[in-house]
Amino acid sequence: MPVKLLLQLRLLNPTLPATCFSPLKLGPSMSSSASFSRIFPSVPQRTLQNGRLGGTQRFSTRPSRSRSEFSRGGDGGEVRASKSLIDDEAELSDWVSELRSDSFLGGGESDRDRGGVRSGAGRVRVRDSDSAKRRRRESSDSEEFDDPNRRRLPTPAGSFPRNSQINRRSDTRNDDGADFSSRRRSSGVNSSIGKRGGRDMDSGYNRNRDGKGSAKDRKDSRKPFGLADGEDDGKDREAEKIGIVDLLSEEESDTDDEEGDEDFGNVLQKAKAKGGSLFGLEKEVNEKASTGKSESYLSETRFNEFPVSPLSLKGIKDAGYEKMTVVQEATLPVILKGKDVLARAKTGTGKTVAFLLPSIEVVVNSPPIDRDQKRPPILVLVICPTRELASQAAMEANILLKYHPSLGVQVVIGGTRLALEQKRMQANPCQILVATPGRLRDHMENTAGFATRLMGVKVLVLDEADQLLDMGFRKDIERIIAAVPKQRQTLLFSATVSEEVRQVCHIALKRDHEFINTVQQGSEDTHSQVRQMYLVAPLEKQFSQLYVLLKEHIADDVDYKVIVFCTTAMVTRLVAELLRELNINVREIHSRKSQSYRTKVSDEFRKSKGLILVTSDVSARGVDYPDVTFVVQVGLPADSKQYIHRLGRTGRKGKEGEGMLLLAPWEEFFLSSIKALPITKASEPSVDPDMKRKVERALSKVEMKTKEAAYQAWLGYYNSNKTVARDKYKLVELANEFSRCMGLDNPPAIPKLILGKMGLKNVPGLRSR
């Protein structure tokens, strides 16, 4: 039946690839575990300013394209139907998803959860192929993901421990493990006692009197770093250095890291003997706040203050990192101690190094692997939600491994040949493997000896855990967790911590894991140095306004580097073509571009200045483009989380940035979901008649096929939004308004089958074919 459906779809669209589907078994679910948490809040500083919309005009130019990229491959990097079946499946899913555009909160969620759309049994079957779903998720825009969980808004701040300053908390659950509840016992607001298994457990921070300990003392007592003789010493120094003593660890020495906890107990005694303050760390944060430094993403701590191997330190130095970021400072000592960690930090604050560096240390401290070994163990497994993120993490690992010639990182992602990856993993050192979930499972199922290699995993990292779950990878994660040893360290890093992330903590992390939260309670998830604005204007004005905004920004900042987010891949293409026709220097990335093209453009954009990237949500999360000056979001973001992640592409590493959200009047309701954020209304940019005509002329040059595809995708996208799609008549009116804005006299005809799938058959105003 899927084949039959496929044939039907191919009749409708000859660019659709041929493919096959192979259902996969799901892994066993894992048991729950209790947890407690530690909070490292920072103090927010809001800067509310008005929009900056002035400036002269200056352009960068790039020859406009004369032909559409819609159905071709090659130079434009288009996805073609001539690749492997694996790629084709992803394309098929992309294509189907583009029709569905199911990126919203609400709107047919329960069907989507089962891999389909509300009214599309055929597509349900197409999407029933687990591997097709997985591959598409990894390759495609997040707007097209089909898990309903992703539609949920971030967990309200109030559901985390309430403490305006540094918190030490044992977050506990009932025995059924469903909830992180917390209770306080200590009179100090920053200390709390969690109760687990009927036992009260203290937890607290401990520091030397000055809150930091004496650097000199620490240095004097330091032995050269080394696994054999440095471990106790390292822990001791580490605890003194950061002043954190984990009372719970002492009681939890029956868990996997028994040995470490025992040592740490001694440290605790020493710290206690020194009369360390339980609230020393709080003091430091308060001091930072009072000196206005709390917004800085960098801490005052240097990497060499921790027991990190000299060769790793050399790599860090060469990378240009001197001081640690706040999340690195907070997590490194805990991870080095062998603890499982859930870490939350804002976008662009160095989470990748935070998990890579201690993971590399685990490899460094492991016995060397015999190169002749047929199936050498993989020691560190990093799971990333997208190919871009996986490649980025692998790149970062390579930088840190510079002076570890015998250690290697390999990356396995969708969109490349499985056999090539198999060869690379066999021929090169591969102590660290970075993977997307779907491709990892492909290897687990199809690569000889791979399962054995995974049994060597000592550290499992789930990067961007929230996104992994939003993208519906939970089953894959469960399967992966089942494939690696139970005796391992697990690290979960995330910019946002949703209910789903907490659930995965129960599955993946040990009971005594620590939650390290560097986002202060009540603080926004966005950076205060990023000025956030919104503009509400009818659709007919939006293309011109976008043009003016970009021109003004270009004129204001010679080093401009802008990302324009659009709702779907096909709308992205439309906007990119339009801007190109307007001689704006643009590149485009979305799921309909081949992986090699995406990688090429991504690399170019990373290195460039004076460039605009028009993209779908494939670039929304985790992707690290330095020095982005301006992020524009055109149309309704999928949800508030997505708004935050998109905005997080600017203001990275403490830099300044601007964000603009362009909404139509009927999209204004979205603002209520981000009302906690410091977003202000921008004044409307003035579009003179000449400018308007220029944009209209440019639009008239955009390929008809691009407009047709954009119209269909636009309709699908908003049809999936509960609020907008409540009134189908209105929805179609709006879609037709969008069509007019593209300069079309008549709305493009849509295949009947697709209209049926969208539940829009016989809605007046639509043309079918």
Ligand X SMILES: Nc1ncnc2c1ncn2[C@@H]1O[C@H](COP(=O)(O)OP(=O)(O)OP(=O)(O)O)[C@@H](O)[C@H]1O
**Closer by beta carbon to ligand X, 353 or else 766:** 353
Give least dist CB 197 to ligand X, A.
Answer: 34
Range 482-501, binding ligand X (CB under 6 A):
495
Each residue 443-482 as x (binds ligand X by CB under 6 A) or -, in order, gives ----------------------------------------
**Closer by beta carbon to ligand X, 321 or else 718:** 321
Give rounded-to-5 percent helix, strand, coil for the chain: 45, 15, 45
Kindly tell me which residue out of 77, 116, 338, 348 binds ligand X, with binding defined by CB under 6 A. Answer: 348
Phi, psi of 561 (to 5 degrees): -150, 105
Stated as kind and residue range, the H or E segment containing 432 is strand 432-435
**Closer by beta carbon to ligand X, 83 or else 402:** 402
CB 191 within 8 A of CB 279: yes
Range 626-645, binding ligand X (CB under 6 A):
626
Phi, psi of 652 (to 5 degrees): -80, 155
Kindly tell me which residue out of 17, 350, 385, 685 binds ligand X, with binding defined by CB under 6 A. Answer: 350
Give least dist CB 649 to ligand X, A.
Answer: 7
Q: Which of 622, 688, 614, 615 is nearest to 468 (CA)?
A: 622
How many contiguous H segments (helices) and E segments (strands) does the chain have?
29, 20
Taking CB under 6 A as the rule, does residue 353 contact ligand X?
yes
Strand ranges inside 309-387, DSSP E: 323-325, 341-344, 380-383
Phi, psi of 424 (to 5 degrees): -60, -40
Kindly tell me which residue out of 115, 204, 333, 648 binds ligand X, with binding defined by CB under 6 A. Answer: 648
**Closer by beta carbon to ligand X, 167 or else 526:** 526
- Longest Cα–Cα distance in the chain: 82
CA–CA dist 188, 455 (Å, integer) = 44
Give least dist CB 321 to ligand X, A.
Answer: 4
**β-pairing, 459-462 with 489-494?**
parallel
Taking CB under 6 A as the rule, does residue 345 contact ligand X?
yes
CA–CA dist 561, 205 (Å, integer) = 42
Give least dist CB 323 to ligand X, A.
Answer: 6
Give least dist CB 549 to ligand X, A.
Answer: 23
Q: Which of 318, 305, 465, 327 is nearest to 384 (CA)?
A: 465
Kindly tell me which residue out of 108, 115, 315, 622 binds ligand X, with binding defined by CB under 6 A. Answer: 622
CB 279 within 8 A of CB 205: yes
- Binding segment toward ligand X, per CB under 6 A, in 252-260, 343-351, 509-517, 691-699: 343-351
Range 650-709, binding ligand X (CB under 6 A):
652-653
Q: Which residue has the tokens 């950076």?
A: 527
CA–CA dist 554, 561 (Å, integer) = 9
**Closer by beta carbon to ligand X, 325 or else 591:** 325
Give least dist CB 122 to ligand X, A.
Answer: 36
Kindly tell me which residue out of 192, 301, 352, 545 binds ligand X, with binding defined by CB under 6 A. Answer: 352
**Closer by beta carbon to ligand X, 389 or else 750:** 389
Range 296-335, binding ligand X (CB under 6 A):
321, 324-325, 328
- Binding segment toward ligand X, per CB under 6 A, in 206-214, 344-352, 633-641, 734-742: 344-352
Torsion of CA 284, 286, 290, 293, to 10 degrees: 60
Report which DSSP code applies to 372: T
Taking CB under 6 A as the rule, does residue 606 contact ligand X?
no
**Closer by beta carbon to ligand X, 234 or else 648:** 648
**Closer by beta carbon to ligand X, 434 or else 570:** 434
Phi, psi of 436 (to 5 degrees): -90, 150
Give least dist CB 205 to ligand X, A.
Answer: 22
CB proximity list for 614: less than 8 A, separation 6 or greater = 563, 564, 566, 572, 575, 576, 579, 586, 587, 588, 589
**Closer by beta carbon to ligand X, 345 or else 509:** 345
Q: Please report the DSSP string for 492-527 in residue order.
A: EEESS--HHHHHHHHHHS-TT-EEEE-SPTT--SS-
Query: How many residues bind ligand X, per CB under 6 A?
Result: 19
Give least dist CB 720 to ligand X, A.
Answer: 26
**Closer by beta carbon to ligand X, 77 or else 358:** 358
**Closer by beta carbon to ligand X, 89 or else 295:** 295
Taking CB under 6 A as the rule, does residue 748 contact ligand X?
no
Q: Which of 425, 327, 330 is nearest to 373 (CA)?
A: 425
Taking CB under 6 A as the rule, does residue 347 contact ligand X?
yes
- Binding segment toward ligand X, per CB under 6 A, in 13-21, 611-619, 647-655, 662-670: 647-655
CA 438 to each of CA 113, 187, 418, 664: distance values in angstroms, whole numbers, following the listed order: 17, 49, 12, 37
- Between CA 609 and CA 616, with CA 615 as vertex, the angle to 5 degrees is 155
Taking CB under 6 A as the rule, does residue 86 contact ligand X?
no
At residue 614, the 3 state secondary structure works out as strand
**Closer by beta carbon to ligand X, 463 or else 708:** 463
Each residue 508-547 as x (binds ligand X by CB under 6 A) or -, in order, gives ----------------------------------------
Looking at residue 694, its amino acid is K
Range 208-247, binding ligand X (CB under 6 A):
none
Kindly tell me which residue out of 109, 421, 624, 708 binds ligand X, with binding defined by CB under 6 A. Answer: 624
Taking CB under 6 A as the rule, does residue 168 contact ligand X?
no
**β-pairing, 323-325 with 298-302?**
antiparallel
Kindly tell me which residue out of 42, 140, 349, 595 binds ligand X, with binding defined by CB under 6 A. Answer: 349
CA–CA dist 614, 575 (Å, integer) = 7
Give least dist CB 324 to ligand X, A.
Answer: 5
CB proximity list for 724: less than 8 A, separation 6 or greater = 636, 666, 667, 718, 730, 731, 734
At residue 211, the 3 state secondary structure works out as coil
Taking CB under 6 A as the rule, does residue 351 contact ligand X?
yes
Q: Which of 106, 87, 83 is nearest to 95 (CA)?
A: 87
CA–CA dist 382, 463 (Å, integer) = 7
- Binding segment toward ligand X, per CB under 6 A, in 229-237, 340-348, 413-421, 430-438: 340-348
**Closer by beta carbon to ligand X, 115 or else 350:** 350
- Binding segment toward ligand X, per CB under 6 A, in 13-21, 350-358, 516-524, 557-565: 350-358
Give least dist CB 349 to ligand X, A.
Answer: 4
Give least dist CB 322 to ligand X, A.
Answer: 7
Give least dist CB 652 to ligand X, A.
Answer: 5
Q: Which residue has the tokens 């947890």?
A: 35
CB 107 within 8 A of CB 722: yes
CA–CA dist 616, 564 (Å, integer) = 8
Give least dist CB 129 to ligand X, A.
Answer: 29
- Binding segment toward ligand X, per CB under 6 A, in 133-141, 351-359, 445-453, 593-601: 351-359
Taking CB under 6 A as the rule, does residue 566 contact ligand X?
no
Spacing of C-alpha 341 from chain mean position: 18
Footprint of ligand X on this chain (CB under 6 A)? 321, 324-325, 328, 345, 347-353, 495, 622, 624, 626, 648, 652-653
